[in-house]
């Protein structure tokens, strides 16, 4: 019988990535907030985005903002996927957006239900209004 309860997907590579993501979410310097609106200006166009990382000068201090009103983020699972996406950015800082977008569903699909719940648990229940 195992003494230590480990949340495993059964795939060592997935578990390795999950532990790195969990460390980022657990870290004191990671500040996660749920906001009502989030936009970005790209090529002069303003568009709504579902999440973003504001990188700190210190690589261990980063703010993750989740747009809780975005269609993708109405349900807890969507917010969890967004949080996973932003945590992948922190983990793989030099990897560009399209590749993070490729990795995010591949990893989410392979996580165990307990691993997904763990990530969803880190999404704040309430909105922060100051932004
Ligand atoms: Zn992204």
Q: What is the pLDDT of residues 66-116, one digit of tens each?
A: 999 999 999 999 999 999 999 999 999 999 999 999 999 999 999 999 999
CA of 3 to the centre of ligand 1 (A): 37
Distance 33 CA to ligand 1 centre (A): 16
Residue 6 Cα, ligand 1 centroid: separation in angstroms?
A: 29
Q: Ligand 1 mean position to 5 CA, how many Å?
A: 32
Q: What share of the chain in percent tops pLDDT 70?
A: 95
Instruction: Please give the distance, rounded to the nearest whole angstrom, from the Cα atom of residue 10 to the centre of ligand 1.
Output: 27
Tokens 């909105």, residue located? 127
pLDDT at residue 130 in the model: 62
Measured over the CA atoms of residue 52, residue 22, residue 29 and residue 74, the dihedral's sign is positive
Domain assignment of residue 126, yes or no: no
CA of 50 to the centre of ligand 1 (A): 9
Of 70, 66, 77, the closest CA to residue 116 belongs to 77
**Is the pTM above the cut of 0.75?**
yes
Q: Which residues surround ligand 1, an ion (CB under 5 A)?
A: 97, 100
130 domain residue, yes or no: no
Tokens of 46: 């303003």
Q: How many whole angstroms from 34 Cα to the centroid of ligand 1?
A: 16
Higher-pLDDT residue of 131 and 39 is: 39
Q: Which residue has the higher pLDDT, 123 or 131?
A: 123
CA–centroid distance, 121 to ligand 1, in Å, is 20
In a domain, 105, yes or no: yes
Q: How many structural domains comprise the chain?
A: 1
Q: Which among 121, 119, 91, 102 is positioned nearest to 9, based on CA atoms?
A: 119
Residue 123: pLDDT above 70? Answer: yes
User: Is residue 2 assigned to a domain?
Assistant: no
Residue 13 lies in a domain: no
Residue 129, pLDDT score: 76
Confidence of residue 5 (pLDDT cuts 50, 70, 90): low
Domain that holds residue 66: 28-121
Decide if 77 is inside a domain.
yes
In a domain, 88, yes or no: yes
């Amino acid at each position: 019988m195992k003494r230590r309860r480990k949340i495993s997907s059964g795939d060592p590579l997935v578990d390795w990535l999950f532990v790195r993501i969990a460390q980022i979410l657990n870290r004191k310097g990671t500040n996660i907030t749920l906001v009502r609106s989030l936009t970005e200006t790209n090529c002069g166009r303003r568009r709504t985005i579902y999440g973003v990382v504001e990188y700190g000068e210190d690589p261990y201090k980063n703010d993750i903002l989740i747009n809780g009103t975005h269609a993708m983020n109405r349900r807890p699972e969507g917010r969890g996927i967004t949080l996973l996406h932003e945590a992948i950015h922190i983990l793989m800082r030099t990897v560009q957006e399209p590749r993070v977008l490729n990795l995010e569903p591949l990893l989410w699909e392979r996580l165990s239900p307990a691993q997904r719940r763990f990530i969803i648990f880190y999404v704040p229940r309430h909105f922060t209004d100051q932004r």
